[in-house]
């Protein structure tokens, strides 16, 4: 007696017909060959646990792992599985390319790993600062940009100016006032790593000379006391100014163009002292 491929005989191979007309051995069966359990891969599992001839077992890997080899194995007629050469290996996303003017933290690049992106001083990151290796073998974020910090133009004060005009990181700007104006607040500002100027609190106030000096036997006629304002000197009736110039000018140093003069009686010898 013989069995078909994939089956094995249970009982004796021979049976004889005896004098009574019966076979002396009966009850033969052909049982399917059993290949035994197929070993599951590390970090993976099998679906289809039947181990006899013709049954198929499919190999799967856990999330984050990649199958190397054929994913199907069949119990063969020789009692062996057709495929046992498979394994599950941890997925590797490879190195992350650092952005220009930036760096990527070094470490593992396999599934679940996280890297951090940092920009060099004077640059700011556009987008996420982390990326993780996904089960697809691709980093969750790969396009990073480190943009050079620019603080933008400083407010130009009325009656003043800013120098230099560069607004990029590391620039030290100076505040200056035009002639006849006085600076109040900081005289400089630094473009910082956060894209902000360290100071923007400054003004240029016009110089004020205050009231012009009083004159005996005369008066001052003026409408303003700030830089380049005029004050006309007028003597009372019967008096004459001790010089031909009849007005004062508010100077950039905060004083009037001259501070000592006289209104003398008409006919009296002129006596005056001028200061410029």
Looking up residue 144, the CATH number of its domain turns out to be: 2.10.70.10
Residues 212 and 248 in one domain: yes
Q: Give domain status of residue 58, yes or no.
A: no
Does residue 198 contact residue 190 with C-beta atoms inside 8 Å? yes
Q: Give domain status of residue 124, yes or no.
A: yes
Residues 213 and 272 in one domain: yes
Q: Give domain status of residue 29, yes or no.
A: no
Residues 118 and 171 in one domain: no
Q: Give domain status of residue 227, yes or no.
A: yes
Q: What's the pTM?
A: 0.59
Residues 115 and 175 in one domain: no
203-212 confidence digits (pLDDT tens): 999 999 999 9
The number of C-alpha atoms within 13 Å of 19 and in the hemisphere containing its C-beta is 0
pLDDT exceeds cutoff 60 at 85: yes
* Section 232-258 average pLDDT: 88
Residues 264 and 220 in one domain: yes
Does residue 71 contact residue 60 with C-beta atoms inside 8 Å? yes
* Contacts of range 27-35, beta carbons closer than 8 Å, 24 or more positions apart: 28/1, 30/3, 30/4, 31/7, 32/6, 32/7, 32/8, 33/6, 33/7, 33/8, 33/75, 33/77, 33/78, 33/79, 34/75, 34/79, 35/75, 35/76, 35/79, 35/80, 35/81
Residues 215 and 265 in one domain: yes
Rounded CA-CA distance 177/202 in Å is: 10
Does residue 151 contact residue 166 with C-beta atoms inside 8 Å? no
What pLDDT is attached to residue 19? 62
Residues 177 and 233 in one domain: no
111-121 confidence digits (pLDDT tens): 999 999 999 99
Residues 202 and 212 in one domain: no
The number of C-alpha atoms within 13 Å of 254 and in the hemisphere containing its C-beta is 6
Q: Give domain status of residue 167, yes or no.
A: yes
In eight-state DSSP terms, residue 216 is T
Q: Give domain status of residue 216, yes or no.
A: yes
Does residue 166 contact residue 119 with C-beta atoms inside 8 Å? no
Q: Give domain status of residue 182, yes or no.
A: yes
Number of C-beta neighbours around residue 13 at 10 A: 9
Residues 173 and 212 in one domain: no
- Looking at the chain, the whole-number percentage of residues with pLDDT higher than 90 is 67
Q: Give domain status of residue 175, yes or no.
A: yes
Residues 201 and 243 in one domain: no
Residue 184 belongs to domain spanning? 160-206
Residues 194 and 212 in one domain: no
| Average model confidence (pLDDT) across the chain | 88
The residue among 84, 27, 29 whose CA lies nearest residue 51 is 84
The number of domains in the chain is 3
Residues 193 and 215 in one domain: no
């Amino acid at each position: 007696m013989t069995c078909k491929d994939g089956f094995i005989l249970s009982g004796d191979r021979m049976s004889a017909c005896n004098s009574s007309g019966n076979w002396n051995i009966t009850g033969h069966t052909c049982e399917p060959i059993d290949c035994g359990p197929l070993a599951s891969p590390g970090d993976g599992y099998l679906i289809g646990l039947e181990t006899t001839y013709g049954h198929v077992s499919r190999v799967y890997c856990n999330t984050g792992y990649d199958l190397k080899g054929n994913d199907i194995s069949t119990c063969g007629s020789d009692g062996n599985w057709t495929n046992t050469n498979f394994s599950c290996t941890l997925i590797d996303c490879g190195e992350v390319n650092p952005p220009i003017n930036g760096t990527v933290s070094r470490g593992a690049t396999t599934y679940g790993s996280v890297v951090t992106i940092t920009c060099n001083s004077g640059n700011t990151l556009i987008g996420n600062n982390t990326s993780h290796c996904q089960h697809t073998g691709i980093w969750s974020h790969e396009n990073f940009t480190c943009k050079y910090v620019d603080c933008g133009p400083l407010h130009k004060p009325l009656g003043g100016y800013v120098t230099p005009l560069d607004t990029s990181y590391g620039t030290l700007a100076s505040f200056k006032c035009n002639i006849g104006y006085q600076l109040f607040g900081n005289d400089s500002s630094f473009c910082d790593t956060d894209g902000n100027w360290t100071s923007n609190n400054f003004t240029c106030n016009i110089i004020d000379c205050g009231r012009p000096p009083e004159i005996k036997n005369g008066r001052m006629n003026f409408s303003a006391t700030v830089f380049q304002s005029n004050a006309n000197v007028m003597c009372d009736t019967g008096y004459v100014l001790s010089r031909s110039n009849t007005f004062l000018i508010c100077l950039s140093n905060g004083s009037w163009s001259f501070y000592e003069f006289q209104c003398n009686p008409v006919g009296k010898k002129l006596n005056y002292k001028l200061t410029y």
